[in-house]
Amino acid sequence: MKITVLTLFPEYFIPLIQTSILARAHQAGLFTFETVDFRNFTKDKHGHVDDTPYGGGAGMVLKCQPILDALKTVRTKDSTVILLTPQGHPFQQRMARELSLKSHLIFICGHYEGFDERIRDYVDLQISLGDYVLTGGEPACAVICDAVLRLVDGVIKKDSSDEDSFSHGLLEYPQYTRPEIYDGKRVPEVLLSGHHANIEKWRHQMSIKNTVKHRPDLLKELEFNEEDQNYVNSLLKKDEI
């Protein structure tokens, strides 16, 4: 996996690949990561990458030329070009999984008030991190790179990502570690029992319960077997949820 980020702020990405799990994976050669400062591509004699919007209005708009000339130098037939924008598809775990299988991702990070609309015609995919406006695409890009790279083969143990929240459409089950009692709160008995089948069943039910409680919107995407559906129905009937 190779990632190329077109940005005016390459320094933003240094901690991303120099910290923790991604630093180790990067050192081990599991992915390559480069930034391209598209200011270096501007043909403007003052070095500007943006200009005032046609029609007037506040702020500056990123010009096509520096971004698209920079893109030309890094794009190949194997690249997937992604524009970060609040108008894009909301980012989800499913997308992270799909992107983790690509060989080359190129991210374009806008900044300031926005970018020339014509840039959208040159990308394969537009992604939004969520329904809020960031100062630029960089924070969204860093989050997406993190979510994608942890799914690249070898970055984390496969068992860990199989049990992630959302990987089966459900939120994750609760986890506990020592001590058995903290501030009067006990670890659920079943987790101390050593009975693997019961533990698995409990975890599955807790995943369902967490989802019903915190993200009922996810339920409509799921098809439950009869036993799980009965459990969901019983939860929905109870007031405790």
The residues that are catalytic are 86, 113, 150, 164
For 182, phi then psi, to 5°, come to -130, 120
Tell me the window of 56-64, 80-88, 206-214, 230-238 that interacts with ligand ADE (CB under 6 A): 80-88
Per-residue binder mask for ligand ADE (CB under 6 A), 101-140, x = binder: ---------------------------xxx-xxx-xx--x
- Region of 8-16, 81-89, 100-108, 160-168 interacting with ligand ADE (CB under 6 A): 81-89
Q: Report yes or no: 84 and 141 within 8 Å, Cβ to Cβ.
A: yes
Q: Is 58 in the site for ligand ADE (CB under 6 A)?
A: no
What's the angle, vertex CA 161, arms to CA 143 and CA 195, rounded to 5?
A: 145
CB of 133 to ligand ADE, least distance (A): 5
Site mask for ligand ADE (CB under 6 A), range 162-181, x = bound:
--------------------
Distance CA(178)–CA(182), nearest Å, equals: 9
| Of the candidate residues 84, 170, 208, 232, the single one contacting ligand ADE (CB under 6 A) | 84
* 66 counts as binding ligand ADE under rule CB under 6 A: no
Interaction of residue 82 with ligand ADE, rule CB under 6 A = no
On whether the CB atoms of residues 2 and 105 are closer than 8 A, the answer is yes
Reported in sequence order, the residue ranges of the chain that DSSP labels E, i.e. its strands, are 2-7, 32-37, 50-51, 61-62, 79-90, 104-108, 125-128, 181-182, 185-186
Q: How many CB atoms lie within 10 A of CB 220?
A: 6
Least separation in angstroms between residue 60's CB and ligand ADE is: 15
Nearest to 149 by CA among 165, 139, 161: 161
Question: Which residues here bind ligand ADE, judged by CB under 6 A?
Answer: 84-86, 128-130, 132-134, 136-137, 140
